[in-house]
Amino acid sequence: MSADALELQRFAIKFFLRDPASVRPEEVLRLFHRWIQERRVEGILIDVADYAHVPDGPGVVLIGFEADYFLDSMEGPAGLLYNRKRPLEGALPARLRAALRAALDACARLEAEPEFEGAVRFRGDEALFIANDRLLAPNTEETFAVLRPSLEEAFGALWGGAARLEREGGDPRRRLAVRVRGDRPAEAAALRERLGA
Amino acid sequence: MTPTWKDKLAAEIPPALGLEIDQYETDLLLRRQGKIDEKVFMEARLRRGVYGQRYDSGQRHDGKKTQTLRYPSGDLTKGPGILWDHPGMQRIKIPYGGLNPRQLEVLADLAEEYSDGILHVTTRQDIQLHFVHIEDTPAIFRRLAAVGITTREACGNSVRNVTGCPLAGVCRDEAFDVTPYAKACSRFLLGHKDTQNFGRKFKIAFSGCAQHPCGLARMHDLGAVARIRDGRRGFELYVGGGLGPVPYQAKLFAEFVPEEELLPLAQAVSRIFGRLGEKKNRNTARLKFLVNKLGLEEFRRLVLEERRALPPDPAWTAFLGELEAAAEKPSKPAAPLNGQPRRPSFDAWFRTNVYRQRQPGYAAVTVTLPLGDFTSRQARALADLARAYTPGTLRLTVDQNILLRWVSDADLPALHAGLEDAGLGQPGAGTVVDVTACPGTDTCKLGISSSRGLAGVLRERLAARAASMDEAVRNLTIKVSGCFNSCGQHHVADLGFYGVSRKKGNYTVPHFQVLVGARRQENASAYGLALIAIPSKRIPEVVDRLAEAYLRQRAAGESFSGWVQRIGKSQVRALIEDLAEVPPYEADRSFYSDWHDPRTYTVSDMGVGECAGEVVTPLDFGLAAAEREAFEAQVALDKGDPVRAAETALRAMLRAARELVASQLPEVSEDPAEVVREFRARFYDTKLFFDPFVGGKFAQHLFQAVEEPAGTLAPDAARRRVEEAQLFIEAAHACRTRMAQAAGKGHA
C-alpha cells in the first residue's frame, strides 16, 4: 500500500438526518419511484430495492448504474448514503467533490419534497466517508494518512476549509470510515451551493 | 501499477480454479470487443452463476410510461436482448449450506463492495447478491475461490447446488450424518465430464431421515435419504422429482444403495440423463420427463446397466475413509442452561429457535432472516458469534435462515444477546411468521407478482399476533413464489401462493393463486394444488380466513393438510371465493398496484375514468368458466376419481382454447377436433399463445391431452393433467392480455 488509495473509485458519502423518524420507509419507497419517473437525481436510475424489513439495514435503495442512493440505517444513524460504483474523472479530490455534489443534490431534493412539509432536514455539520474498496484502501492508519489531504480538500469546501476528520473504528475487516465534521453548519442546499458547479 | 485481486490472491487460489476464472475473464474481454457470440458468452457466464436481472432489456415501466435505460455501452449485450451494462444477480453455491466464519466475512465484503450490502439466502441454500456489474464478477470469483467457494455451475444445464439437511450430524432422528456424502457428491460431480451434456439443470438433495422436511429429498431430480440396513450405511434413492410449473413427486429408484455405490450410481444417472434427456425442448428436458417417458423400470434398467459398464474411479470411495475425521466436534464443553442470566425476550426465542441436539447439553440455533436477507454487518457479527460459541460452522437452510450448531446450553443466553444486538434475535423460526419467498418481481425477470412484498406484509401482520396465536396456527408454513416456477417452493407449504395476473377492464391486476393440501413431512411427500386466484391485496385476508376456519373446524390433533382433505377443497375454496372480486379502478386503485410497489400496473393512455364504462367480454366469461372446470377436476382428484379428473381437466383446456378461438372465429363449434385445429392454426402456429419465457409449452399440454384418453392415465399422470389445465388457463389469460394490448385496449 502506498498511494494506491488515491486510485479509489468506489466510495460512499453519507449525510445524517436531524430526526431519523422524520421520514418513513414507505414514503421513501414512493418518493424514489417518483424520482425515477421524473429523473430527479443524476445518473441512470434503474430500480428501487426495499430492505425496510431488515433491522438496521440499508433501508430503501434507489439503484442506479453509476451510484446508489440509500435511505440508510446500517452505517450509523439514519441518513442519505450515496454509494459511488462507477469511475469518475479526475484526481481524487475532484472525484470526491463530484460525489458530494450528487449526494447533496439528493439531500436538498429530499428536504424540498412538499409531502414532507419541511420536516425532513439533514444535519449540515457532519458527514461520513467510506472507502468501499478493500484492495486499494484497506482499513489502516496508513490508508487514512494517504486519503486525508484529498478528504480535507473536498469536504473543506463545505465548511470553509475547516473539516475535522476522525477515523471510525479499527476493525480491519470493516471498510475504512471517516467521520467528517464542520463548524459552519448549513442546510443541504446551501452546502451544495458552496461546492459550485 | 494499480494492484489487482488476481495478483493479491494468486497464492491462495487453487491453480485449476484460477485458470477457469482467467478463461472467464478472457471471455468477458472478447465479448466486450464483439469477438465472441452473445449466446456463447451467455452460457459461459451462466455456468458461473452470473444471471440477468429484471429490466435487463433496457426497458422499464416506471408506473406512467416505459423508460429506456440508456447505458454507456449502448447496445452491447451479454446474451440475446440482455444489455451489458445492466446490473445482474450473482448466485453463489454453498454445498449443503455449509459455511465457515471466514467465508461468511468474504461474502459480507463482496455484498458491500459490489452489491447493496445485502446477502440473500435462497431456498436451495445458495447466497445471492443483486445489482452486480458484470465487470466485477472476476474479482468476486477470485475472492471467493481464495476461501474455497466456487460459483461454477451455480446455473446453466448442470448439477446445481447439492443441498442437504442443515441438522445433519446433530439431528435426533437421523440415520447418520449425511454431510460428508453431500460434500463428496458435490465435489465429485462438479465439472465432471459426465455432467456437461445435460439439456437442463439437475438438482440433488440429501436428507438424514425419512420423516422430516429439512432436506426435501423427494422433490429433487436425485434425492438421497439416509438408511441403515444390517449395520451398513446406505441411501434410499429417489429420482425424477421436481417442482416447476408442473410438480413431480420423485420415484423410488432403490430402497437401499450402499454408501460405496452412491457416487457411481449418481454418475450413471448423469450419463443416462446426458445421453437420453431432451435437448431441444427445454420445457421437457428435466430428468422427471425422461423418467416419465421411459417408465421407472426401464430407467432403472438403463442406469444399472450403465453403472456396470463404468470404469472404476477411486473418487467413488476415497471420502469414506475420512468420515470420522470430517465429523464436527464441539469447541466448548456441554454445560447446563439453568441459572444463566437471560434477557426478557429469551424465552420466546428459545421456544421457536432452539433445537435440542442429539448430543446432550448442546443445541442448534436458528437465526431467523426476514425474507432470507441479512446485512454485511450482520454477517460479520454472525461470524464472530460462530467463532465464540460453535466449532466455526454455519448452515444455510432451505427455509432461508441460518443455523448455528453445537452451542453449549449454558451459552444460549449470551448467544441470544449477541444475536439480538446484531438485529438477528427475532423468534418464530419455522412458524407461520417465517414466510419463505423467492425474489419475484423485485429482481427476477420471470416474476409476475411481488412475492417478497406479500411475504413481508404477511410476516409483519402475523408477527404482531404471534404471541396470542393458537399453536396450531403458529405452526403453519407459508411459501410464496412470484410466478408458477416454484422457486419459493409454494407446492410444499400449508399455504402456498404463486403470482399470476388477471385482466379487469383495461387494466391488469396482480393476483396470487392459492395452494393448499401439501404435506411437507416425509421429505415433501405431497404437493399442494391451486384453488383459486385472488388479488394480491386480499391475500392477507385469505390467510386469516383459512387459519380461523382451520382453528374452528379441526379435529383434535388434525393437521392443516388433514383438515383440507377432510372438508374438501370445494369447502375451502368457498371460504375465500368472495375475495376474488376486484373493485373497479376508480373505486379502489390500491388493487392495481402490488405490495411494496407504488407503481400502477397499468397506465391508461385511453383516458381516465373509462373503467366506469367497463365491458366484460365473452372471452372473460369463457375463461372464468374454464377455470371453474379446472377446479372441478381437482375436486374429482380429491374424491379419488382420477379418470373423471383427467376428463374434466381436458374439458377445461378445450373450453379455454375455444373461447380464444371464438374471439377470432365466433362461429367455431364445440367439436374438440375443430377447436384444437383452429387453436393450433390461430394461436400456436402464429405464436400468439406463446409465453415469453417457455414458448409454446402450455399449448403442448392441450395437444398431448387430446391424444391420451383419460382412461389410460395412471393416477399421477391424471394429477399432472389437472396441473397442466390450470397452467393452460393461466396462459390463456396472459394471451388475452397480450391481445388486448396489441389492440390498444389495455396495458401490461
The DSSP code sequence of B677-705 is HHHIIIIITT-TT-BTTTBTHHHHHHHHH
What are residue B534's DSSP bridge partners?
B512
Q: How confident is the model at residue A2 (pLDDT cuts 50, 70, 90)?
A: low
Give pLDDT tens digits for A9-27.
Answer: 999 999 999 999 999 999 9
**Residues in chain B, total:** 748
Q: How confident is the model at residue B613 (pLDDT cuts 50, 70, 90)?
A: very low
Give residues 33 to 92 of B whose Cβ lies within 8 Å of A: 54-55, 60, 62-64, 67, 69-71, 85-87
Angstrom distances, CA of residue B403 to CA of B188, B393, B732 = 26, 9, 43
Rounded Cα distance between B451 and B441, Å, is 7
**Nearest residue in A to B84, CA atom:** A65
- Average pLDDT rounded to a whole number, residues A125-146: 97
- Average pLDDT rounded to a whole number, residues B28-35: 88
Give pLDDT tens digits for B497-544.
Answer: 999 999 888 888 999 999 998 887 665 667 888 899 999 999 999 999
Give the pLDDT of residue B639.
Answer: 86
Using the beta-carbon criterion (under 8 Å), do A37 and B63 form an inter-chain contact? yes
Give the pLDDT of residue B243.
Answer: 87
Q: Which of B129-138, B446-455, B474-483, B634-643 is least confident?
A: B634-643
Query: Which residue from B550, B568, B548, B549 is spatially nearest to B559, judged by alpha carbons?
Result: B550
Q: B237 by DSSP, 3-state: which?
A: strand
Above 70 in pLDDT, residue B605? no
The position carrying cell 412475492 is B451
Size of interface A-B (CB pairs under 8 A): 110
Give the pLDDT of residue A86.
Answer: 97
- Average pLDDT rounded to a whole number, residues B570-590: 95
Give pLDDT tens digits for B403-432.
Answer: 999 999 999 999 999 999 999 999 999 999
Using the beta-carbon criterion (under 8 Å), do A135 and B118 form an inter-chain contact? no
Give the pLDDT of residue B614.
Answer: 34
Query: Which residue from B413, B415, B417, B426 is spatially nearest to B373, judged by alpha carbons?
Result: B426
A148 reaches B (C-beta below 8 A):
no
Give the pLDDT of residue B608.
Answer: 25
Angstrom distances, CA of residue B666 to CA of B522, B552, B728 = 50, 49, 21
Cβ–Cβ < 8 Å for B582, A15: no
Rounded Cα distance between B318 and B540, Å, is 52
A175 reaches B (C-beta below 8 A):
yes
Give the pLDDT of residue B144.
Answer: 98
- Pairing assessment for the beta strands B98-99 and B50-51 based on DSSP bridges: unpaired
Give the pLDDT of residue B226.
Answer: 96
Give pLDDT tens digits for B669-699.
Answer: 989 999 999 999 999 999 999 988 889 999 9
Give the pLDDT of residue B26.
Answer: 87
Instruction: Please provide the average confidence, as pLDDT, over all residues in chain B.
Output: 91
Give the pLDDT of residue B611.
Answer: 27
**Nearest residue in B to A75, CA atom:** B377
If you average pLDDT over each of A129-133, B634-638, B712-716, which comes out highest?
A129-133
Q: How far is A187 from chain B (nearest CA, A)?
A: 28
Q: How confident is the model at residue B330 (pLDDT cuts 50, 70, 90)?
A: very high
Give residues 102 to 121 of B whose Cβ lies within 8 Å of A: 105, 108-109, 112-113, 116-118
Above 90 in pLDDT, residue B87? yes
CB-based contacts of B561: which residues, under 8 Å, 6+ apart? B494, B516, B517, B518, B519, B526
Above 80 in pLDDT, residue B624? no
> What percent of chain B is modeled with pLDDT above 70?
96
Cβ–Cβ < 8 Å for B366, B429: yes
**Nearest residue in B to A62, CA atom:** B116
A179 reaches B (C-beta below 8 A):
no
The position carrying cell 491453480 is B15
CB-based contacts of B162: which residues, under 8 Å, 6+ apart? B95, B96, B182, B185, B186, B189, B204, B205, B206
Closest CB to A68 among B105, B116, B380? B116
Give pLDDT tens digits for A140-165.
Answer: 999 999 999 999 999 999 998 788 99
Above 90 in pLDDT, residue B740? no
Give the pLDDT of residue A27.
Answer: 94
Using the beta-carbon criterion (under 8 Å), do A134 and B371 form an inter-chain contact? no
Q: How far is B429 from chain A (nearest CA, A)?
A: 16
Taking each helix axis from N to C end, the angle separating B179-189 and B262-276, rounded to the nearest 10 degrees, works out to 40
Grid coordinates representing B135? 465487470
- Average pLDDT rounded to a whole number, residues B565-593: 94
Give the pLDDT of residue B617.
Answer: 66
Using the beta-carbon criterion (under 8 Å), do A57 and B117 form an inter-chain contact? yes
- Average pLDDT rounded to a whole number, residues B214-232: 92
**A55 chain-B contacts, CB cut-off 8 A:** 370, 423-424, 426
Give the pLDDT of residue B634.
Answer: 86
Query: Which residue would you say has higher pLDDT here, A76 or B130?
Result: B130
Give the pLDDT of residue B745.
Answer: 52
Rounded Cα distance between B371 and A49, Å, is 13
Using the beta-carbon criterion (under 8 Å), do B63 and A132 form an inter-chain contact? no
Rounded Cα distance between B549 and B566, Å, is 13
Using the beta-carbon criterion (under 8 Å), do B131 and A173 form an inter-chain contact? no
How many CB atoms lie under 10 A from the CB of residue A96?
24
Above 50 in pLDDT, residue B604? no
